[in-house]
Structure formats: C-alpha cells, structure tokens
Structure 1
C-alpha cells in the first residue's frame, strides 16, 4: 500500500517498525473500515444508532476478544490488537468501544476470572458475534471511585450451593440494552465479586441513555438490578476485590491508547485533504504558513502518540507492561487526540461543523473516551503517585 495514500501523517516511516503479519492485520481492518464504516458513519451518528448488523462480521474477522486465546478467540498479539483498535476508531469511537466492551471487558473478565464452564458457555458465542456482553461496574455515584459502589449481592440461603440476590443500579454501561450477558460487579460480605447475569433474568433492566452529544453511534445505558436471583455458579470464581475489574479496565485502557490516535489521524487526513482543495485568496489553504504549522504540529503528535502506543504494546507482548505505563498512554494520547481533532476542525472552517467531515465528530466522541476508563485527573494521580511515592487521591 502506498504510504502517501495510507498514512499521510507518517513522517517517520512507522510501518518499518511493524512485522509483515502486523501490517497485514492493520491493512485488513483499515480496508474493512473504509469500505463498510466510513460511508455510513455520518448517518449512524446522526440517527444515534449503533449498527448491530455488523457484529457478526466483527466476529468473522476475529476482532472480538482478539487478544484472547482459545474458545474461538483469535489469539492475536497486543500490538495487533492495538493496530486494529486504531483503525476501528478511525471509523468511529463507537465502533472501537463495542470491540473494547465485548473483548477487553466482558470477554476478558470471563477468560481471566471465570470457571471452565463459564468460558465454555460464553466465550465461543461472544467471539463469533453470536452473543453480546457488557461490563457493569460504574454507578451513578461511583465512577472514578468504584470502591464506593452500592450494588450488593447477598447469599440466598445457606451452604455451598446457596445462590445470590443482586440489587443496585449501574450507569454508563456500554451495550447493556442489547447484551445477552452482563458481567456485574457488586459488594458482598467477602468484598467485591463479579457475577455473570443473563440479561433476560427477572429483575435486570437496561435503558439506553438519550439524548447524547457524544458517542452517538454507540450504546450506553442505565441498569437496574431489582433483587436479581442467580445460582451459586453465577459468581466469577477467580476474581475477589477490585483487582478483578481493574485487570479488565487495564486491557481497555491499553486499547484506547491506540484508538485515540486512530481518531486523530482520521481527523488530520480530512483536514489535510481539505486544505489542499479549498481556495482562499486564490491559493489553497495548504499554501499558507499558519495552516502548515497546524498540520505539522498535528502530524508530530500523531507520530509520537503511535510510537508511545507501539512501545507499550511491545512491553505488553513480553509481559512487562505496568499499570502506570498504561495511564501514561491513555492520558497523553487522549489529551493530544482531542486537541488534534479540534485543530483539524479549524482548518475546515464552517464546513467543519457538518457531518460531511470527521474532526468534530471525533472530537465530540473523544470527550467521552477521555472520561471513561479513568479521567485525566485519575491517570494524573496514578502517575503522580508513581513519581512521588505519595497517593493523593483523597
């Protein structure tokens, strides 16, 4: 693929850092997004609709739980997953978010913390896109501080075969209204535990949050758990305490490090192409020094962001990636991506507020991406603790 066509922002021959297998995977996902997503995303965004009809295709392409091995999962590397996340988010944050919620959150929770029976029951269907999962951690009053969650699970009876009764509310739960199974985190007498809740279970209700100014081609929900009764084996046996959900959140945060740069690159490409065609004072915008400075500054940050993401991916693939390093990637790349998208919009002028162009749509979406899986403030404090040795969260 001609690099001038595929990556006009690339100033450093980034592709030379990738293997043939990584490039092939990246190009396959890029082609899918350009053919199936980009021609339709403006309409989906305007209609506030996530296209559920593409879910089986995501499964067929091995993009659901792609970093997991076995049970029908593709077993791809961390770098390959990141490259795919960047291409998906170049289409729209809602698309990458679906893959993240399904694979990095719900499927990872089952794969890491579930029983053999739970893995056998759910992972093949989720990997194939035959079922949809969600991950219910955040609550109306417990976002950045999940330890304050009020959802509670009580034993329903006595003895090892006693079931559970879940009660509580969750908010901003991606895919909950279309999911077949929910991974629900709740306080118990033994600390925070995870539960697999089929969404048809009596007492489980999910309602889409509308209207939204961001992530319109995506599904986020309020969830009510009204004395949801579950069998004893609904609990995830391998997760106790907040380390369980945090291990899944780190998978999602890693994907965002790549995905945000995909959105930024797509916004840059729209602005670059427009600047070459739009005439002002009988010259293309690209011929003015101020425009070139904007384009250069954007391209430099995109290149640096992808280098950071790749470095984290290489560390992850050899088992050396640490949580604070994920925070560095998520914080930096989201912060830079949203500024790039806003700057790209300025090159488009008034036309940039329409859905004919991607920068403002990406910027609006990134307002959500910047907030979920840890706000700027939370990741700043994680890094501050790493630098100083002093926790400053409270």
Structure 2
C-alpha cells in the first residue's frame, strides 16, 4: 500500500512539475520532498527520523545532479555543448530552395496547435467576414451579372473555349485586377472579397472562375506589385488591371512538376542586342507545360535557373531561380496549342523557347532581384494558395449542397422524398458538414490573409483538405442524383464540377505531395516553437553566437517536451475535463476542452516524431501524411467554432457544429492512431500508446440521429439552408436548371400535406397511378383532396417532371464529338507539336 501511495504521489508531482515547466532545481526540490517524506515514513502511517540507505543515497545524488543543471556553466558543459555538436553533425544541410521556402510566409494559428496549448483569444481575434461597401456591391453586382451570363453547356460542349463576351466582361469590369492596388489601376480588394468573388463564380462555372482566378493568384500581377521596379509597376499593372494584357505564369515543365526547384529551364547572363543597342541580358531556353491562360496570354511570366559563367554580375556563377516577364510576341517565344485538362474550356497549354535573348530589365525587380525567384514564388504562393482553390472548392461544396438537398426533397421514390431515406440521408449529412466546415475554414483563412499574413502551412492544408472534401461532395451529389447526374446536357448542373474536380486536386501542388511533404514536414519546422530556432542556431557561421541561441532553444524545447508528455497524459487520464475553455463558450465547453486535449496529443506526437526521425522525416511520408491530417482536423474544427460565434450562435446550427465536431475529432484520432501504430521506433511507439491512448479509443463518429436532424434543417427553404449556401450564385429563373430546382422546392414543400393525402388515396386503392389515368382528378373526384390542392399538385407534377428529366440528342447533334482524330494530330510531344517537329527546329 505504501508503494502504491508513493507511486501515485510521484506521478502527481511529476505531472504538476512537467505541466508548469519547472526548472531543474524545482524538479529537484519537488522530488526531494517526496523522497524525504518516504524516508521519514510518511507513506507508512507514521513519522520518524529520516533513514538513509544505499538507495536513498543514490536518490539524493541524482537529485543533486539534477539541481546542478541549474548552474549555467555545468549545464553548458554537460548538456548544451554535446547536444550542439551532435545536432550540428547529424543535421543535413538545408538547401537554398528549402531555406527560402521556410522563410516564406508567416506562422499563424498553426503555431498555436503545435504548441499544444492554443490561445483561444487569438482565434477570436481573427476578424469575421467583413467587406467594404464597394466590395459587397461588386459581389452583388458585376459578379452576379457574370454568373447570369454563363451558359456552361455552350462553353464546355459547343464552343470548348471561353466565349468572347465572357472575356470582354471580365476585362471591362476589372475582374483580372482584383489583386492590383487602386494606385496602379486595380480594384485593390481584400483577400476576403477576392475569395468570395471567386467562390460565387466557381459555384456557377469552374471554367469561368479559372480565367479570373489565375491572374489574381500566383502570377505576374502579384509578383510585379510586390517585387517589380517602379517602371514595371507603372507600365504593366494598369494594363493587367484593365485586361489589356492577359498574363500567364510558366513554372511547371515536363520534368519539374511538384519538384519545381529541379527545373531544367536555364538562362545565361550575356550581352546582346535589344532595340538597336547592346545591353546586358539573358539568353534563355525553356520548355513549359500545363500553363493556364498560356494560349491566350500576351505576357508570359517565366521562372528559370540563371547562370553567370562569365561573372558579369559578380562572383557567383549559379545565381539561382529567377523570374522574368516576356511579351508573347517576342522573337523566339513559342505559344503552343491547347491542352484539354479534364476536357475543360479554359485555356491551358505549353510554351517554349530556345536561345531567346531578353534584356536584364525584363527580370521582375530588375537586376537586383536575380536569383530571388524562388523566395518570391514561395511568398506569393503562401497567400495565393490560401485563397484561390479553397474559395472555389468551398463554393463548389455549397453548390453541391444547395442543388442536391433540393433534388432529394423533390425526387420521390417508394412513396416519399428520397431525402427521408436513411441511405440518402447519410451522404446528405456529409454534404451539410462539408459545406459548413469548408466555409468556416475559408472565411478564417481569408481573414488572416486580409490582415497581412501569409500562412504557408495553413494554406497548404487548406488547399488539399478543401479540394478533397469537394471531391467527396461531388461524388455524393452524383450518387444521390443517380441517372440525372450521369446524362450530360444543357440541364445537367453537376457534370462540369465532376469533370474539373481533378484539376483542383492536381494544380498548385498535387494533393498527395502537399499532404505528405509540405503540410507537416514543413509545418513542423516552421510552426514548432523551438525546432526552427535550433536549426538556425546550429547552422550559424558564428559558433559562439549559435551556441548561445541553441542553448536558449534547447532548454525551451526540453521544457516544452516534458510539458507535452505530462500535459497529454494528464488530459487523457482525466478525459479532457480540465482542458482550457474561453469565456462565453455558450454551450461549446466540451468541444473546446476536447480540442485542447487533441492539441496536446498532437504536439506530443509531432514533437517526438521530429525528435526521433530527424532528417529521415521526408521519406516517412505515410507518417507525415497522417500527422498532416491530424493537424488539419484540429484547425478545421477551430474554424467551425469561430464560425458559429461569428454567425451569432444561431441555435439551429448547434446540431451542425456538434456533428462536425464529433466527426472531426474521430478523424483526428484515426490519423493519430495510424501514426502511433506505425511508428518506426518500437520504444517510442509503446510510450505513445501509454501517453496518448491510456484507455484506448477516445472519439466516435457522430450518431445517425444527429445526421438525420441536420439534414431536415436544409431540405426545405429557410435561414439554415440560406446560411449554409451563402455567397454562391442562386438563380430563381425556372428556365435555368438550378433556378428550376429553387422554384420547384418551394412548391413541393407547400404541397406536402396535399401530397400525403394523394399517397394515402393511392395506397388505399381509391386512386390508381398509371399512365393514361388522371390520378389527381380521380383523387379530387373521390374527395381525397380539394380542388385547390389538385391545382397545386398538378403544378408540382409538371415542375417535378422537368426537374427529373434528362437531356437527349439526335445523332447529328453529337457528331462533332465522334469525329475521328486525324493522323496529323497524333504523336505530339509535350509541347503539342508533331513528334518530328523538334528535329526541324
């Protein structure tokens, strides 16, 4: 019994000291008091003079050694200097491109999650959705008009190109210059406004949003605005803002996709003739593909590796990645034919050049910015990747929810709306969750960018999470619509989304590698409170200064790690009951506590993963992928809580928050369990099992009844449905396929009681429902329904027939799509040229 009391006391004292990040002498004092109490018989029911045996002597010697670590000189010689040398010897050299990627962007709320003790006030301090009157007017005006102009069937099937009237409209209204400041002729909109504008367009047409998105994401406009010379800004930015120039940005090549830093496109500093005079410039050779807007571009942004073999610019031969602006009409520039990414209508294609001479002034930022291209690209991508694809993926998910809940409420089988069937109820609930979660995270992330942050880690997880969730949402929408979805035609409002989902999955960093190599592998180094400081310290060329910085970081890291171990174990054995909760949690206390607990567990597993795997982290991509998923689920759920508060805590939305929280915590746990069970170090694996899962599984998916409850909230018109699908394009025109859904849904809900009466009459045999019989009139004649109800049901029947109808075509209408490919178009290389064309160049 005494030993059990001693063990309990030691655990309690150790947990308290660890959580409070006690210093070595405090550890020695605390554990010394426990040892003294044991030696005085306090755990045996009586007190006596302390008895010091051999074990007691060893205990006090150990405690004295622990206390000695409080002495700076002792600590430095015994701990810090050996650790500094060890880390310096084993740490792989960080390449220039890796260093620039790490330095790019900012650290935001992701650091709170990595800390294990998120500050909820920092989350609340992120602004809610706020638009200026000008931005709101643009969203409700020109953006709405652009959406109304779109005939997606005409665009993607008949023309398979962007219509001139669409191009003219986006240019005339400044859509291509939302990112450009008003000073230089652009709209100067906030990131939040850009996100919502792109989202509304995406909800109508993935093709149209692409031509607007690209100039406002990673591209020449942003690069010139941030890094260009005054001359470049004054000349190009107004032209880009007015659509007088159509830009593209050429980064990806046949051999450099996700690994863009290995590009083979090169330039050499040399002298050449430009506009009749000899100038210092660059002779370029490149081969790029997958370049969106490339076939329509008048201005080509080009990334390449620059060399200076004659050292014209200085002593460095390999200058590094550089970015230049080249007119598409410049001699030697070749704009290739079109790719067809997923059969899309937006322009995308290759471009290339061989021995093309450009003056040095065409480098973005001029000669002063040569070699800084990778840093420029990473900094812009940190912000752009947080806006463009997350906004379109979020709007896509909201659109899938809007049309699918309407269709499921209108479509009847087995005598009831299919939305009331449990098999359909399940994917509908997923759609509700996806739309709510994606919008919550989109709004928070866009607000971060609007206030000047460039969240590199968060932007990566947002890109892959929102596009993957959209893929699932589109599949769920297709499954529920059935044959209505798979038959293409003018009235099919799902097909374009289904076609183009893989594009979003692939571009701006393919999701597989964004998940496994960027989100956690880069995030751990960037967002960890001490790790990056340690790396910087050991790579400092000034050893004395590096050692001092390393000591501060190392001591902080040790204290942090011990706190994580103690904190995670404490929260897990107490089931999170003592997790931190902010003021005014308003019924969300349990979710906040469990998020605090989850963050502690993530910080512990992440810290031990980095410490154990070190430089081998990059090759353990299943581990890093799961940890990226775990980080994502915590961030997304934090955004869900903020959205609920920013929306004014609407009571009906509590069920949606509860549903999303249960599922998010369950997915978090599955990701963490997968990490622990597959951890390559068996000792750490066992330790993590004990610390993180002392009682086994923590979380379970949301119950079925809760899913059914939230589906009922959105399958009829009302504020919840509107709130979940806000800021997308919604038509009320019955001649528009989606507008027809809106009109019919209202009529169906209004006629629900009359429909029930008719169904009862049919089931009782009073009325027979077959072709050739007017069953509505028969029901009215039999007194089963009134005449006014009969009129209502006739209108609903007519509208419903239109909603569930599918398009069909005469063979000659489809003939262009069946033409045989001519021999002359076969055998093209990556540039879109015939295979033998290169030999002639």
Normalised TM-score (structure 2): 0.43
Structure 2 CA distance for aligned equivalents of residues 320 and 163 of structure 1: 35
Cα distance, 1:375 vs structure 2:
1.3
1:377 maps to which residue? 512
2:282 is aligned, of 134, 146, 164, to 164
Query: 3-state DSSP class of the match of 2:357?
Result: strand
Query: 3-state DSSP class of the match of 1:197?
Result: strand
Of 201-210 and 188-197, the range deviating more from structure 2? 201-210
Structure 2 CA distance for aligned equivalents of residues 224 and 308 of structure 1: 39
Which runs of at least 4 in structure 1 moved beyond 6 Å after TM superposition? none
**Alignment partner of 1:175 is 2:175:** no
1:57 is aligned, of 169, 176, 180, to 169
1:191 is aligned, of 308, 320, 323, to 320
1:109 maps to which residue? 223
What per-residue deviation string (whole Å, max 9, x for no partner) do you get for residues 48-81 of structure 1? 2122432332233332231331211111111111
Query: 3-state DSSP class of the match of 1:73?
Result: coil
What per-residue deviation string (whole Å, max 9, x for no partner) do you get for residues 347-379 of structure 1? 111120224323332132120111100111232
What per-residue deviation string (whole Å, max 9, x for no partner) do you get for residues 119-165 of structure 1? 22221111112220000000011010111101111123289931221
Structure 1 CA distance for aligned equivalents of residues 471 and 465 of structure 2: 10
Gaps (5+ residues) in structure 2? 1-127, 308-318, 525-605, 620-841
Q: Please give the residue correspondences for 1:1-394 in structure 2 after superposition, counting only pairs within 5 Å.
A: 17-19=129-131, 21=133, 23-28=136-141, 31-37=144-150, 40-46=151-157, 47-69=159-181, 70-104=183-217, 105-157=219-271, 161-189=279-307, 190-214=319-343, 216-237=344-365, 238=369, 240-254=372-386, 255-353=388-486, 354-355=488-489, 356-380=491-515, 381-385=517-521, 386-387=523-524, 388=606, 392-393=617-618
By percentage of residues, which structure has more helix?
2
CA gap 1:124/1:19 in 2 versus in 1, 3 angstroms: closer
CA gap 1:164/1:19 in 2 versus in 1, 3 angstroms: closer
User: Quick check: 1:68–1:75 contact (8 Å CA) kept in 2?
Assistant: yes
Cα distance, 1:192 vs structure 2:
0.7
User: Quick check: 1:187–1:193 contact (8 Å CA) kept in 2?
Assistant: yes
User: Quick check: 2:179–2:221 contact (8 Å CA) kept in 1?
Assistant: no
User: Quick check: 2:332–2:356 contact (8 Å CA) kept in 1?
Assistant: yes
Of 103-112 and 322-331, the range deviating more from structure 2? 103-112
Structure 2 CA distance for aligned equivalents of residues 303 and 71 of structure 1: 37
Of 179-188 and 271-280, the range deviating more from structure 2? 271-280
User: Quick check: 1:56–1:128 contact (8 Å CA) kept in 2?
Assistant: no
CA gap 1:363/1:251 in 2 versus in 1, 3 angstroms: farther
What per-residue deviation string (whole Å, max 9, x for no partner) do you get for residues 225-260 of structure 1? 122221221111246141122233334312211111
CA gap 1:226/1:18 in 2 versus in 1, 3 angstroms: same
Query: 3-state DSSP class of the match of 1:172?
Result: strand
Question: Based on CA coordinates, which of the two structures has the bigger radius of gyration?
Answer: 2
User: Quick check: 1:266–1:358 contact (8 Å CA) kept in 2?
Assistant: no
CA gap 1:248/1:98 in 2 versus in 1, 3 angstroms: farther
Specify which structure has the bigger relative contact order, considering alpha-carbon pairs within 8 angstroms and separated by 6 or more residues.
1
What per-residue deviation string (whole Å, max 9, x for no partner) do you get for residues 181-202 of structure 1? 0000111021111111100111
User: Quick check: 2:180–2:237 contact (8 Å CA) kept in 1?
Assistant: no
User: Quick check: 2:206–2:496 contact (8 Å CA) kept in 1?
Assistant: no
User: Quick check: 2:179–2:222 contact (8 Å CA) kept in 1?
Assistant: no
User: Quick check: 2:131–2:193 contact (8 Å CA) kept in 1?
Assistant: no
Structure 2 CA distance for aligned equivalents of residues 275 and 307 of structure 1: 25
Query: 3-state DSSP class of the match of 2:211?
Result: helix
User: Quick check: 1:65–1:108 contact (8 Å CA) kept in 2?
Assistant: no
Cα distance, 1:212 vs structure 2:
4.0
User: Quick check: 2:288–2:350 contact (8 Å CA) kept in 1?
Assistant: yes
Query: 3-state DSSP class of the match of 2:342?
Result: coil
User: Quick check: 1:203–1:225 contact (8 Å CA) kept in 2?
Assistant: yes
How many residues are paired up? 376
Cα distance, 1:17 vs structure 2:
4.6
User: Quick check: 1:176–1:223 contact (8 Å CA) kept in 2?
Assistant: yes
Gaps (5+ residues) in structure 1? 1-15
Normalised TM-score (structure 1): 0.88
User: Quick check: 2:185–2:237 contact (8 Å CA) kept in 1?
Assistant: yes
CA gap 1:26/1:177 in 2 versus in 1, 3 angstroms: same
Cα distance, 1:336 vs structure 2:
0.3
Of 280-289 and 141-150, the range deviating more from structure 2? 280-289
Structure 2 CA distance for aligned equivalents of residues 285 and 197 of structure 1: 56
Structure 1 CA distance for aligned equivalents of residues 402 and 156 of structure 2: 20
Query: 3-state DSSP class of the match of 2:322?
Result: strand
CA gap 1:92/1:319 in 2 versus in 1, 3 angstroms: same
Query: 3-state DSSP class of the match of 1:364?
Result: helix
Cα distance, 1:18 vs structure 2:
4.3
Structure 2 CA distance for aligned equivalents of residues 320 and 101 of structure 1: 20
User: Quick check: 1:142–1:148 contact (8 Å CA) kept in 2?
Assistant: yes
